[in-house]
Structure 1
Amino acid sequence: MNTSVPPVAVDPRVDVRVVGPAPVPGNGGGRPLRIALVAGEASGDGLGAGLVNALRERFPDAQFAGIGGDAMRNAGCETWFDASELSVMGLAEILRHLPRLLKLRRQYRERVLEWQPDVFIGIDAPDFNLGVEKWLKERGIRTVHYVSPSVWAWREKRAEKIGASADLVLCLFPMEPPIYARHGIDARFVGHPMADEIPGECDRMRARAELGLSSGAKVLAVLPGSRLGEVTRLGNDFFEAAWQVHERIPGLHVVVPAANAACRAVIAEQLSASALPVAHSHLIDGQARTAMVAADVVLLASGTATLETMLVKRPMVVGYRVAELTYRLVKALGLLKVDRYALPNVLAGKDLAPELMQHDCTPENLSAALLRWFEQPQQVQALQPEYDRLHRELCQDASARAADAVAELLATPRSGATA
């Protein structure tokens, strides 16, 4: 199966360099440097905290303010609003909260404009941040968008919209800057913070001890998603697949981390309805990475968790299913530009993990793919050099590189306002 996303470099003529240190900008205004930020969920809060700490090393007197959570506050960012106010998922939830979110965005951007920061940095949360970035950019404030939406996968033309909003895009993956370059947009690969955080080798026995699992047990980690809709669509088939594997591997332990209380309630019902032996089923709160490290094989929904599984060096099977109407619309409109979805496969440009999507995501297909990993240890060994290579590719001290890129932007003359 071929893909339209080649490994790492799309075009050798395109610069996807890892940014280096930039000169410290002068501040002729007689006040400390001001940096405004927005992070809308836990992952963005962590990215924001790392960036604030790295920027403070370069600009010790800088002031940081905006929207964030505990991690950003601990890093010294004043939060005018808490990140939790942006954490809304699902169409119905968004519609219900839309008036409040629009009011929040209006209040926030006006406060930023009044504060007159030297740069605004929107971290992920594109639905909120791109509009803020565009509004501020039109008023002469430098803007940065940190974490590119998946323009490599679908709707590449979104890159133009992002470029209209941000002076600079900071990308976590090396295949992203060349896409922006095709649209004349300054985008830099800075690496992925998760790759910096996760060691090259993870201690399986320690993880098993933490979860109360025997060191010699066969362990399957099952992660049917972090959102309620994902768990509802995938959980029953995932647990049926796990039972089929258990039938072939008696004594198999199945570890299921629940992302939150709502997901846990649904998963508990699904597990109780499954044929999996209660004594060998372990539903735990959070601890997804510990479960991955403890496992021999991981079954999971497509998403960032596939990258995390790759970084802890575990073989995986990836399944995913969206609402049938959504699937038909995406296919009919040709919005999807790739035929690989799991991040390890996209980064490698080849199939490192079986992907079973939509109608192929059946218990029989999932269990067959899982059993191949359990029964062919030589194939698991063959994965390790590929995983190691991709880990090194992404391990770039992302927060420092992102801070260098922001410093370089600050060192350039400010563009004039257009409104």
Structure 2
Amino acid sequence: MSLRIALCAGETSGDQLGAGLIAELRKRFPDAQFAGIGGDGMRAAGLDIWFDASELAVMGLAEVLAHLPRLLKLRKAFRQRVLDWKPDVYIGIDAPDFNLGVERWLKQRGVRTVHYVSPSVWAWRENRAAKIGASADRVLCLFPMEPPIYAKHGVDAVFVGHPLADAIPLQPDRTAARNAFGESPDVPILALLPGSRLGEIERMLPVFVEAATTLQRDIPGLRVLVPAANAQCRSAIERIARDVPGIRILDGDAQRAMIASDCVLLASGTAALEAMLCKRPMVIGHRISGLTYAIVKAFGLLKSAHVSLPNILAGKQLVPELLQDQCTTQNLHAALLHWFRDADAVAALQPQFLAIHETLRRDASARAADAVASLLSSHA
């Protein structure tokens, strides 16, 4: 009987990871069957879609609560279907709120389980690692500092590298990126990324735009590129920034905008990692709600000295992080101006960014497939 591999990815990034993983697993197991939850990428790679990934893509507490009965019903039906299918392994790709519960339920019933993309155990509560181990027989990690944390809790975890590091060239072509936007090689450009969630845009974009406007007085001819993740985000960005001179709103194209820029102003998250891989200096500006911040501080929930991935991966502050009360127009402006005016400081970043890029560039899909294959062979 051919190998059966069940997978579940709940959003676009997970679908892309899943598509790459299926392609590599198929090289190792040509007759394998793949089924579960995924999107267009995994469908094209050969996944038999039982439920579409869009059914899991719910963001924000209010939305989750509104969809909770439907999501619980879907999870119950899905995990039973997986069990009845008798897969050789179940691979949950990111979406920890959904996948870890499914994995735990299946593991308790004798199904081997893999969780691909570790939750941020290095930033938040490390004891989550032990709980994740109760769900997954093996965790596939995107960052090198993650497996040692799991090892402390007796959890099998493997560093496979980061797919973004595979996809982005070690030396991105800045001239080509500028040509694509019709911008000349010598025009100063700021890429401005306020986030991909509406609440984040409403909270961060006004102060980002103020900082950019102030910067235009010091940097003559400054162009500001603001990529919008989707149509909803574009509407929110237009409402705040439509009439601001020198600002150009883009449909997507965030990575190309970063490569084309002299500097990036962004909210924390994967975008900071992407800007680092694009070898661009950046300023991190971020605010969360006052209540959430008070809870995080009061209970000591944040375990990392830094919040942005470039600084976390370097183990020191390479780029400024302006958080909460520090995230002001004046502070953002000063930090941006530093990068625009100090060419030596920008040059000093490049070898450090390159070294991190090379560490993360491991052909993640192939290494993830190897880790799944070795788990299967060890239980054969």
Matches within 5 A, 1:366-385: 366-385=332-351
Distance 1:344 1:413 in 2: 38
Matches within 5 A, 1:122-133: 122-133=92-103
Matched, 1:341 2:307: yes
2:262 to 282, 296, 307: 296
Distance 1:77 1:200 in 2: 31
Distance 1:114 1:125 in 2: 22
Deviation at 1:372, TM superposition (A): 0.1
**In the alignment, residue 116 of structure 1 is paired with which amino acid?**
K
Matched, 1:361 2:327: yes
Deviation at 1:272, TM superposition (A): 3.5
Question: Which residue of the partner structure matches residue 406 of structure 1?
Answer: 372
Question: Which residue of the partner structure matches residue 138 of structure 2?
Answer: 168
Deviation at 1:105, TM superposition (A): 0.4
Distance 1:340 1:401 in 2: 28
Distance 1:125 1:248 in 2: 43
**In the alignment, residue 90 of structure 1 is paired with which amino acid?**
G
1:195 to 152, 165, 169: 165
2:25 to 38, 52, 55: 55
Give the count of matched residue pairs: 380
Distance 1:52 1:295 in 2: 35
**In the alignment, residue 260 of structure 1 is paired with which amino acid?**
N
2:12 to 18, 38, 42: 42
Matched, 1:70 2:40: yes
Deviation at 1:351, TM superposition (A): 1.1
**In the alignment, residue 214 of structure 2 is paired with which amino acid?**
Q
Deviation at 1:215, TM superposition (A): 2.1
Deviation at 1:266, TM superposition (A): 1.2
Q: Output the TM-score relative to the length of structure 1.
A: 0.90
Question: Which residue of the partner structure matches residue 305 of structure 1?
Answer: 271
1:350 to 316, 320, 323: 316
Partner SS state of residue 242, structure 2: helix
Distance 1:214 1:53 in 2: 39
Question: Which residue of the partner structure matches residue 287 of structure 1?
Answer: 253
Deviation at 1:212, TM superposition (A): 2.0
**In the alignment, residue 236 of structure 1 is paired with which amino acid?**
P
Question: Which residue of the partner structure matches residue 241 of structure 1?
Answer: 211
**In the alignment, residue 308 of structure 1 is paired with which amino acid?**
E
Question: Which residue of the partner structure matches residue 325 of structure 1?
Answer: 291
Deviation at 1:206, TM superposition (A): 1.0
Once superposed, what is the RMSD of the aligned Cα atoms? 0.8
Matched, 1:265 2:235: yes
1:152 to 122, 129, 132: 122
- Which structure 2 residue ranges, 5 or more long, are not aligned? none
Deviation at 1:163, TM superposition (A): 0.4
Q: Output the TM-score relative to the length of structure 2.
A: 0.99
Question: Which residue of the partner structure matches residue 184 of structure 1?
Answer: 154
Distance 1:202 1:403 in 2: 27
Partner SS state of residue 350, structure 1: coil
Q: Deviations over 1:308-344 (max 9, x none)?
A: 0000100000111100000000110111111201101
Distance 2:26 2:110 in 1: 24
Partner SS state of residue 352, structure 1: coil
Matched, 1:397 2:366: no
Deviation at 1:210, TM superposition (A): 1.2
Partner SS state of residue 285, structure 2: strand
Distance 2:180 2:10 in 1: 31
Distance 2:357 2:379 in 1: 36
Deviation at 1:157, TM superposition (A): 1.1
Distance 2:148 2:264 in 1: 32
Higher relative contact order (CA 8 A, sep 6+): 1
**In the alignment, residue 101 of structure 1 is paired with which amino acid?**
L
Q: Deviations over 1:132-170 (max 9, x none)?
A: 000000000000000000000011111111000000000
Distance 1:92 1:160 in 2: 29
Q: Deviations over 1:271-305 (max 9, x none)?
A: 136xx41xx21001100001001100000010001
Distance 2:170 2:130 in 1: 36
